[in-house]
Amino acid sequence: MRVSIFGMGYVGTVCTACLANRGHQVIGVDVVQEKVDMINQGQSPLVEPGLEELLVKGLNNSKISATTSAIEAVMETDISFISVPTPSKPNGDLNLEYVNIVCKQIAEAIKLKGKHHTVVIRSTVLPGSVMGEIRETLEEASGLEAGVGFGLAVNPEFLREGTALYDYDHPPMTVMGCLDKTSAEQLTELYSDIDAPLFVETIETAEMIKYTCNVWHAVKVAFANEIGSIAKASGVDGRKVMEIFCADKKLNISPYYMKPGFAFGGSCLPKDVRALSFRASQLDVKHPLLTSIMESNECHVNNAFKIIEQTGKRKVALYGLSFKPDTDDLRESPQVKLAEMLLGKGYQLRIYDENVSYARVHGANKDYIEHKIPHLSSLLQENKEDVLVDSELIILANGCKSFDTLLDQISDEQVLIDITGFMKEKSLGNKQGICW
């Protein structure tokens, strides 16, 4: 495939060399003449092991060239990647200045070309950027409609400095967000010889994935550093703690907890977060990440309440009171907190939880139910269907499997809010999800 890559910085130069090494014809584009000259001479404008050797190989095979001319690059290729910087503004917002400048140049060249051309955003941009400001820039300068007159896509990169060549050939996944079928087909063909899971998604999803990955990596570093600091202050080697922690691939390093849903609760997580945070304070160890965990959890409960409040419905059926399915444990259950918020705001509330109803009569939590939450205990119903009748708002509050059928039982006048993950699709009409 004939490819042009705009921006001969770290990502752009690495992609130029790697695509050429896989047999594609690549033109590198940059406004800095010195960078263009270096690439045309087989010299790398940056330090990355093995990169210069690949550039030389590409030049010798006539697979690589570089230019400062956007028109020349677009005319001679089928698809253009934009890999220019997206720095922060002073207020922390994303600066799209360089992306828009390049988009305008590419769009003007597409207008002159008179043939279909695909534009792929490789730079890291916030969700909504491509379908908003970037799309407007491209359409205004080209006089064409995105997805019709030219292709438009997002293709985030997952390269680490120092191992970029290996990462390009062995990515954890290939992600593309495409506005049109042609763009999806071109990118799929471009990556057809790379062995990695392929995800073809919406443009907004692809934009969000890149940020999610980077922020998660930042969280992991901050978490390990805070744990290490607390461990050292406690006379423990934090490296050994994290080494053993990472050996658990079933829960610690796994997808198990990495699913959007409701807040955490139960007898372990809340108290242990508070206890470790308290000990860190005693040891005079700053731990802003750990300190924020309980606040974040509280915000998520409040977010669920806001979603409920916005419906304007007052007669509520709450399915699930325990903090997770298949248990009667109500200790620090966020579902209990949500129910109490609803009662406190005057909502008419009825609750169904088979396990809690059993515990009220027979279980170990009988005393807790009778003395800690008698105001909620009196609202428990014995029949799942009875709770549904006459309710305006249905909340699926924990993951009990028997609640799955409720998705198809609600009427058009009722609103269903899923805060645990039963819905297969994202929010639409009278069915709303807390994070989807």
As annotated, the active-site residues are: 268
In which element (H, E) is residue 312 found?
none
- Judge whether 265 is annotated as a binding position: yes
- Judge whether 8 is annotated as a binding position: no
- Judge whether 324 is annotated as a binding position: yes
Instruction: Single out the residue of 178, 174, 172 nearest to residue 192, CA to CA.
Output: 174
- Judge whether 259 is annotated as a binding position: yes
Q: What is the DSSP string of 11-70?
A: HHHHHHHHHHHTT-EEEEE-S-HHHHHHHHTT--SS--TTHHHHHHHHHHTT-EEEES-H
Tokens at 420, concatenated: 């645990």
Tell me the backbone φ, ψ of residue 87, rounded to 5 degrees.
-75, 175
What CA–CA distance (Å, rounded) separates 261 from 421? 6
- Judge whether 425 is annotated as a binding position: no
- Judge whether 350 is annotated as a binding position: no
- Judge whether 261 is annotated as a binding position: yes
- Judge whether 210 is annotated as a binding position: yes
Q: Compute CA 353 distance to the chain's CA centroid, rounded to the nearest angstrom.
A: 32
User: CA torsion, points 61, 67, 69, 70, in degrees to nearest 10?
Assistant: 60
- Judge whether 257 is annotated as a binding position: yes
CA atoms within 13 A on the CB side of 264: 15
Q: Which amino acid is at 296?
A: S
- Judge whether 260 is annotated as a binding position: yes
Structural contact between residues 323 and 398, judged by C-beta atoms closer than 8 angstroms: yes
- Judge whether 161 is annotated as a binding position: yes
Pairing outcome for strands 198-201 and 415-418: unpaired
Q: Which amino acid is at 34?
A: E
- Judge whether 63 is annotated as a binding position: no
- Judge whether 126 is annotated as a binding position: no
- Judge whether 315 is annotated as a binding position: no
| Known binding residues | 30, 35, 86, 124, 158-161, 210, 257-261, 265, 271, 324, 331
| Known binding residues for NAD(+) | 30, 35, 86, 124, 161, 271, 331
| Known binding residues for substrate | 158-161, 210, 257-261, 265, 324
